[in-house]
Structure 1
Amino acid sequence: MTPLLRMALLALAAALLLPAQGRAASPPGGTLAAPEAFAGIADPEARSAAYFSELSKVLTSPRCTNCHPATDRPRQGDAARLHQPPVFRGPDGQGLASLRCSMCHRESGFKPAGMPGHPHWQLAPASMAWEGKTVREICLQIKDPARNGGRSVDDLIAHIGDDTLVGWAWAPGGDRTPAPGTQEEAKALVKAWAQTGAACPN
């Protein structure tokens, strides 16, 4: 089977499995409070933890957990169903040699099938799997350089606030519910969290 034929068959399968396209996008996935909303919390550590709790509305949304799965198989859609067709993480997070993410998730996706895209579409590293974890567990994990790709807490500001693949979560297209708030609002929360000691909620 040629790669082009395989891609066409996968796109057809996705079109049959996904909800009908062409409908209006779902309403926004909620809002995020600005850092100023937490000014009344006098204790800096408690305020820092509150910033992360607010940010966790994004991190625990399907737009994030689907790509931070507990297994080597991604999930998809608002219901977080297992990815169809069956695909797996692979050694670099971009799929197995027989079925790479880029075969379907091209730079701009494939709109007839409602398939999203990005030049660097991939799963988060297995060390950053947080599907099913508590907010505190995610917080401890996300700021641990041994698990987060060697990033400092300050590096997370740019990763969450500027990375274009992360930014897809707020403009997912089709009938997917966007992550709460905006990427800019999430960046403000990460920055406030980092600047107040990056405390984790209990």
Structure 2
Amino acid sequence: MSTTLVIGNKNYSSWSLRPWLLLRHAGVSFDEVRLPLDTPEFRDQVGRWSPSRRVPVLHDGELAVWDSLAICEYANERWLAGEGWPADAAARAVARSAAAEMHSGFGALRAQLPMNLRRQPRGKHWDADADRDIARVQGLWRELRSRFGAGGPFLCGRFGIVDAMFAPVCVRFRGYGVECDDTARAFMDAIFALPAMQEWEAAGLAETERVGADEA
């Protein structure tokens, strides 16, 4: 049964990065289809792949799974034998809460600090709402690391879904020169040291497309 992950640009698509990173880190074999965002190609092709007309979407045989978190949950059951979440019930509950908060919240952070692997810090130009999001993210990272992170360098020790959900934030913080505490810097270092993350970055930096809204 063939497995295909349909994604957007690696430079810009934070939602695509999340399941791609989880699958690649876990060694899951899949084909990749990249549809460049904001292009006629995307508009022409996305409907054939995605019922929501958005990316990412995973095709596993005849099954289509859309939405980043849903794909991660499916992968956890299908290939990861449940190891995408911590084994401890309390750690698992808090990790799921943090992942869900990332999935549905942080609107100011998303809007004002879009993911762009090529971006270099050029000074602060976000507002107090984004500052609150930044503080909340770092607070979550501190909580997870202090309570559940003893088994490794990631939020709950071993790399899992919650780390994949926050990986694009690491790109945002680095690209915008966000002031980070020691916990945040150590977590970001761990994310950027992953071979799968380095593979994604190299491919994203090699892309030539530009999305104007994400070049601010």
TM-score over 0.5 for the alignment?
Answer: no
TM-score (norm: length of structure 1): 0.28
Query: Of the two structures, which has the highest relative contact order with CA contacts closer than 8 Å and spacing of 6 or more?
Result: 1
TM-score (norm: length of structure 2): 0.27
Structure with greater helix percent: 2
Greater CA radius of gyration, 1 or 2? 1
